[in-house]
């Protein structure tokens, strides 16, 4: 324990170096592993990005690569894979990881203000991402999802930190990064509402006159700047790509994902239902129920936690959990959507260590149970569809249960309980 | 030839081929240095993953190419059958060859159970660079133009008749039970409603409690 303590007490700069070194070692390992093993360490999509980048270098469209269904920006980022070296992209994603950890530290420090424990708490939060095996695995395997996640954290960083003295500059940059993240992946669209709300000053209670209440709901200057910046950057980047690559870009990057009919087994609670209906029902009450439920939860989370800048990261984290749990297709790579936001809120869960261990165990155990039956289906060709569905319900249940527990034990300002003043939450 | 569908532990299925050239003692090794090609027809419900084949090709553990484009995401009803060409060098009178294959999803049927995919034996071809097979009777072993080694260069292969010692392969794959539609639909909807209610309740309780906390 002494050694662990001494290790954690190293300076943040040292941790950054260690974190980067660990990632570089894994990238090197992946390189060697892929040379000799049929089951590659590298994400299969990394080869897709690299092939698309090769088409770009040859002056062609990245969409010549079959199954390239991303923004051309990802392929542009991977051009050095062709010119410099194949592992450039993985190193780039690892650097994004490091920047994300640094942004988390800086953001948490600003959230906690002048409190004595601010720096220590912020360091713990950053280390939870820096040494997270999932984040190391995702970036070193070449999964591009770490890039939009980084942009989202950057967006929150500029929204809530006075990086520039001019607050308008900060908000414009926040909107720019958010718009860029939405261009790459559609899911950050859900974050726009709580981020917008966090800039408002809503003083509404049961005694507020209606007229005054309605006036306070009108967008203020900061909200309009954020919305304008986000929409402008999204439209500008998207239109530029459309001009260059036409309808094919729109279809592969957005329309395909919206119309995607994937009936193969995955973690989603909707998997077996989608398979049985072949996703071809013209009026699908179950799918509509799932979408409506998801939208209601996203809306309520925004209202409950988005209006206060202190709780905005939690609103976004909880929204990401809902987006993943209610998605019609759920694979492991989607977990980074909420895992990348967890470091921002980790400090504010007032939970016993035993409870934390229990929740982590529950999440992993329900996944493993699902994987067991998926293995039976894929490798042993056993008729276990019903059991897979049961496990997907269990996994959905565990995600929902964990989310309810995190809501229950959420205490803004708790800061791992190392608040020396011992003060609780101020009454509103 | 003996053809089988082999499933190693923790691995997908491999089609395996054990080929013996029955030659008398005077003509042993007569095909050494030649190339053998198997043109395997796969029904719509079975496919090869081109990316996987590329990896095996790159590691020089396999030399196999689908003849046509393969969409690995399609279900059986929307997919087309495909031919895969497997090439190997002959250094002996006996050779083992293999091909990794996968099963597509089949639409659910009443009662569920299993669906059957029949995989027949492949066509066998031989190519010898020194054209030693030119002496063979073309009426028995006609010439066919196929890729030399998976690239664009084409060669003249000879279609070789052979005896299959195994029965045609049958691959039985599980399929969903359409009779489960109502129970799955109702169960899924119920779980979603319960889960959503739990989250809303948790938010409600938390907000109420949050407002009641006072500075100590």
CA–CA gap between residue A251 and residue A69 (Å, rounded): 8
Q: Judging by DSSP bridges, how do beta strands B13-20 and B94-103 pair with one another? A: antiparallel
Q: Can you give the pLDDT at residue B192?
A: 97
Does A221 lie in the same domain as A149? Answer: yes
CA–CA gap between residue A358 and residue B137 (Å, rounded): 74
Does A287 lie in the same domain as A233? Answer: no
CA–CA gap between residue A20 and residue A140 (Å, rounded): 10
Cβ–Cβ of A408/B206 closer than 8 Å? Answer: yes
Q: How many CB pairs under 8 A join A and B?
A: 141
Backbone φ and ψ of A413, nearest 5°: 90, 0
Residue A226 DSSP one-character state? H
Does A277 lie in the same domain as A195? Answer: no
Per-residue pLDDT of A318-333, as tens digits, reads 999 999 999 988 988 8
For A397, which of B105, B191, B205 is closest by C-beta distance? B191
Q: Can you give the pLDDT at residue A348?
A: 92
Residue B109 DSSP one-character state? B
Does A424 score more than 50 pLDDT? no
CA–CA gap between residue A18 and residue B170 (Å, rounded): 54
Does A148 score more than 60 pLDDT? yes
Does A283 lie in the same domain as A232? Answer: no
A contacts of B117 (beta carbons < 8 Å): none
Q: Can you give the pLDDT at residue A83?
A: 92
In sequence order, which ranges of A246-281 are alpha helices (DSSP H)?
Answer: 247-250, 256-259, 271-277
Per-residue pLDDT of A165-199, as tens digits, reads 888 999 999 999 999 999 999 999 999 999 999 99
Which structural domain, as residue segments, surrounds residue A247? 143-258
Cβ atoms of B79 and B44 within 8 Å: the answer is: yes
10 Å CB burial of residue B8 (0-12, 13-18, 19+) is exposed
Does A296 lie in the same domain as A253? Answer: no
Q: Tens digit of pLDDT per residue, chain B (216 long)?
A: 766 666 555 456 888 888 888 656 566 677 778 889 999 999 999 999 888 888 788 878 889 989 888 888 888 888 999 999 999 988 888 888 999 999 888 888 888 889 999 998 999 998 887 777 767 766 667 777 888 877 778 888 888 888 888 888 888 999 999 999 999 999 999 999 999 999 999 999 998 887 655 333
Does A280 lie in the same domain as A223? Answer: no
Q: Could you tell me the pLDDT band of residue A425, with boundaries at 50, 70 and 90?
A: very low
Task: Decide if A408 is inside a domain.
Answer: yes
Q: Can you give the pLDDT at residue A243?
A: 93
What is the per-residue burial (b if ≥16 Cβ within 10 Å, else e) of A325-359? bbbbbbeeebbbbbbbbbbbbbbbbebeeeeeeeb
DSSP reduced 3-state for A29? helix
> Nearest residue on chain B to A42, judged by CA atoms?
B55
10 Å CB burial of residue A409 (0-12, 13-18, 19+) is middle
Does A268 lie in the same domain as A203? Answer: no
Q: Can you give the pLDDT at residue B214?
A: 38
Cβ atoms of A348 and A314 within 8 Å: the answer is: yes
Q: Can you give the pLDDT at residue A423?
A: 45
Per-residue pLDDT of A341-360, as tens digits, reads 999 999 999 999 999 999 99
Partner A contacted by B168 (CB < 8 A)? no
Cβ–Cβ of B199/A397 closer than 8 Å? Answer: no
The single residue listed with the structure tokens 């800048």 is: A309
Cβ–Cβ of A379/B7 closer than 8 Å? Answer: yes
A contacts of B56 (beta carbons < 8 Å): 38
Cβ atoms of A129 and A79 within 8 Å: the answer is: no
Does A308 lie in the same domain as A209? Answer: no
Cβ–Cβ of A381/B173 closer than 8 Å? Answer: yes
Cβ atoms of A166 and A277 within 8 Å: the answer is: no
Partner A contacted by B129 (CB < 8 A)? no
A contacts of B7 (beta carbons < 8 Å): 379-380
Does A428 score more than 70 pLDDT? no
What token pair was written down for A160?
């809530």
Cβ atoms of A52 and A68 within 8 Å: the answer is: yes
Q: Which of residues 41-60 of B touch A (CB under 8 A)?
A: 51-52, 55-56, 59
Task: Decide if A88 is inside a domain.
Answer: no
Partner A contacted by B176 (CB < 8 A)? yes
Query: Nearest-CA distance from A50 to chain B in Å?
Result: 13
Q: Rounded to an integer, what is the distance from CA A193 to the centroid of its chain?
A: 16
Nearest residue to A276 via CA among A385, A397, A393, A396: A385
Where does a domain end: A195, A226, A258?
A: A258
Q: Can you give the pLDDT at residue A178?
A: 96
Task: Decide if A107 is inside a domain.
Answer: no
Interface test with B, best of A268, A385, A411 (most B CBs within 10 A): A385
DSSP A302-322: HHHHSSSGGGHHHHHHHHHHH
Q: Could you tell me the pLDDT band of residue A422, with boundaries at 50, 70 and 90?
A: very low
Cβ atoms of B104 and B76 within 8 Å: the answer is: yes
Query: Nearest-CA distance from A385 to chain B in Å?
Result: 6
> Nearest residue on chain B to A402, judged by CA atoms?
B199
CA–CA gap between residue A333 and residue A145 (Å, rounded): 8
Q: Can you give the pLDDT at residue B155?
A: 84
Does A285 lie in the same domain as A246? Answer: no
Per-residue pLDDT of A372-387, as tens digits, reads 999 898 888 889 999 9
In sequence order, which ranges of B4-114 are alpha helices (DSSP H)?
Answer: 50-58
Does A421 score more than 60 pLDDT? no
| Backbone Cα Rg of chain A | 22
Task: Decide if A317 is inside a domain.
Answer: yes
Cβ atoms of A320 and A382 within 8 Å: the answer is: no
Where does a domain end: A258, A287, A313?
A: A258
- Cβ neighbors of A8 (< 8 A, separation 6 or more) are A123, A124, A127
Q: How many CB atoms lie within 10 A of CB A100?
A: 25
Q: Can you give the pLDDT at residue A280?
A: 65
DSSP reduced 3-state for B98? strand
| B95 DSSP β-pair partners | B19
What percentage of chain A carries pLDDT values higher than 70?
95
DSSP reduced 3-state for B145? strand
What token pair was written down for A309?
């800048």
Does A400 lie in the same domain as A291? Answer: yes
Task: Decide if A22 is inside a domain.
Answer: no
Task: Decide if A175 is inside a domain.
Answer: yes
Q: Rounded to an integer, what is the distance from CA A364 to the centroid of its chain?
A: 19
CA–CA gap between residue A386 and residue B132 (Å, rounded): 58
Where does a domain end: A237, A258, A279?
A: A258
CA–CA gap between residue B213 and residue B216 (Å, rounded): 9
Does A385 lie in the same domain as A326? Answer: yes
Cβ atoms of B173 and B43 within 8 Å: the answer is: no
How many structural domains compose chain A? 2
Number of H helices, E strands in chain A: 22, 0
> Nearest residue on chain A to B113, judged by CA atoms?
A383
Cβ–Cβ of A286/B7 closer than 8 Å? Answer: no
CA–CA gap between residue B61 and residue A208 (Å, rounded): 75
Task: Decide if A278 is inside a domain.
Answer: yes
B contacts of A273 (beta carbons < 8 Å): 184-185, 188
Q: Can you give the pLDDT at residue B50?
A: 87
DSSP B10-31: TS-EEEEEEEE----GGGTTTT
Nearest residue to A377 via CA among B14, B160, B172, B193: B172
Per-residue pLDDT of A253-280, as tens digits, reads 888 877 766 778 889 999 999 999 876 6
Does A237 lie in the same domain as A323? Answer: no
Q: Can you give the pLDDT at residue A282?
A: 65
Cβ–Cβ of B203/A301 closer than 8 Å? Answer: yes
Partner A contacted by B170 (CB < 8 A)? no
Query: Nearest-CA distance from A232 to chain B in Å?
Result: 34
Task: Decide if A211 is inside a domain.
Answer: yes
Cβ–Cβ of B73/A401 closer than 8 Å? Answer: no
Cβ–Cβ of A404/B199 closer than 8 Å? Answer: yes
DSSP reduced 3-state for A198? helix
Longest Cα separation, chain B:
101
Q: Can you give the pLDDT at residue B23?
A: 58
What percentage of chain A carries pLDDT values higher than 90?
62
Cβ–Cβ of B200/A296 closer than 8 Å? Answer: yes
Cβ–Cβ of B196/A297 closer than 8 Å? Answer: yes
Partner A contacted by B165 (CB < 8 A)? no
Backbone φ and ψ of A242, nearest 5°: -65, -40
For A286, which of B113, B188, B211 is closest by C-beta distance? B188
Cβ–Cβ of A383/B114 closer than 8 Å? Answer: yes
B contacts of A380 (beta carbons < 8 Å): 7
Distances in Å between the Cα of A372 and the Cα atoms of A83, A332, B40 are: 42, 15, 32
Query: Nearest-CA distance from B92 to chain A in Å?
Result: 26
């Amino acid at each position: 324990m002494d050694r662990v303590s001494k290790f954690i007490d190293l300076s943040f700069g040292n941790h950054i170096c260690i974190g980067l070194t660990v990632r570089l070692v894994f990238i090197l390992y992946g390189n060697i592993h892929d040379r000799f093993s049929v089951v590659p360490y590298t994400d299969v999509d990394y080869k897709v990005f690299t092939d698309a980048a090769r088409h770009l270098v040859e002056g062609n469209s990245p969409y010549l690569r079959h199954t390239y269904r991303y923004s051309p920006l990802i392929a542009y980022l991977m051009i050095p894979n062709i010119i410099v070296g194949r592992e450039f992209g993985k190193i780039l994603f690892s650097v994004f990881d490091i920047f994300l950890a640094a942004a988390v530290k800086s953001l948490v420090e600003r959230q906690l203000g002048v409190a004595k424990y601010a720096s220590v708490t912020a360091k713990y939060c950053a280390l939870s991402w820096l040494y997270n095996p999932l984040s190391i695995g995702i970036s070193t395997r070449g999964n591009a999802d770490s890039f939009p996640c980084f942009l989202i954290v950057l967006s929150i960083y500029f929204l809530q930190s006075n990086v520039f003295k001019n607050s308008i500059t900060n908000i414009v940059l926040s909107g720019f990064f958010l718009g860029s993240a939405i261009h790459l992946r559609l899911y950050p669209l859900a974050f726009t509402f709580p981020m917008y709300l966090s800039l408002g000053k809503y003083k509404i209670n049961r005694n507020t006159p209606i007229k005054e209440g309605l006036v306070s709901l009108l967008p203020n200057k900061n909200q309009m700047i954020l919305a304008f910046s986000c929409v402008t950057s999204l439209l500008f980047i998207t239109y530029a790509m459309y001009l260059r690559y036409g309808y094919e870009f729109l279809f592969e990057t957005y329309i395909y994902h919206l119309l995607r009919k994937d009936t193969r087994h995955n973690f989603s609670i909707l998997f077996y239902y989608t398979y049985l209906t072949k996703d071809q029902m013209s009026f699908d009450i179950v799918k509509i129920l799932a979408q409506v439920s998801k939208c209601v939860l996203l809306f309520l989370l925004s209202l409950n936690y988005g209006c206060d800048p202190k709780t905005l990261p939690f609103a976004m984290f909880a929204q990401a959990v809902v987006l993943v749990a209610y998605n019609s297709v759920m694979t492991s790579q989607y977990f980074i959507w909420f895992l990348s936001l967890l470091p921002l809120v980790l400090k504010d869960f007032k939970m016993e260590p035993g409870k934390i261990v229990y929740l982590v165990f529950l999440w992993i155990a329900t996944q493993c149970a699902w994987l067991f039956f998926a293995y039976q289906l894929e490798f042993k060709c056993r008729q276990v569809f019903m059991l897979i569905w049961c496990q997907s319900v269990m996994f959905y249940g565990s995600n929902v249960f964990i989310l309810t527990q995190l809501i229950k034990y959420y205490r803004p300002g708790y800061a791992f309980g190392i608040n020396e003043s011992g003060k609780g939450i101020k009454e509103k | 030839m003996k053809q089988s569908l082999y499933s190693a532990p923790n691995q997908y299925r491999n089609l395996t081929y054990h080929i013996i050239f029955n030659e008398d003692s005077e003509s042993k090794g007569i095909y050494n240095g030649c190339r053998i090609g198997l043109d395997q027809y796969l029904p719509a419900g079975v496919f090869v993953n081109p990316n996987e084949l590329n990896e095996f090709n790159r590691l020089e553990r396999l030399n196999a190419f689908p003849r046509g484009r393969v969409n690995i995401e399609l279900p059986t009803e929307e997919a087309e059958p495909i031919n895969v060409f497997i090439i190997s060098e002959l250094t002996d009178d006996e050779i083992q060859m293999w091909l990794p294959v996968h099963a597509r999803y089949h639409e659910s049927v009443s009662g569920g159970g299993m669906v059957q995919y029949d995989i027949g034996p492949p066509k066998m071809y031989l190519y010898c660079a020194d054209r030693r097979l030119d002496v063979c009777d073309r009426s028995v072993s006609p010439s066919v133009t196929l890729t030399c080694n998976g690239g664009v260069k084409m060669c003249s292969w000879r279609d070789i008749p052979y005896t299959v010692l195994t029965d045609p392969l049958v691959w039985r794959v599980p399929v969903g039970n359409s009779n489960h539609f109502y129970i799955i639909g109702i169960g899924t909807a119920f779980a979603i409603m319960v889960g959503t209610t739990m989250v809303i309740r948790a938010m409600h309780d938390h907000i109420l409690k949050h407002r009641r906390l006072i500075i100590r």
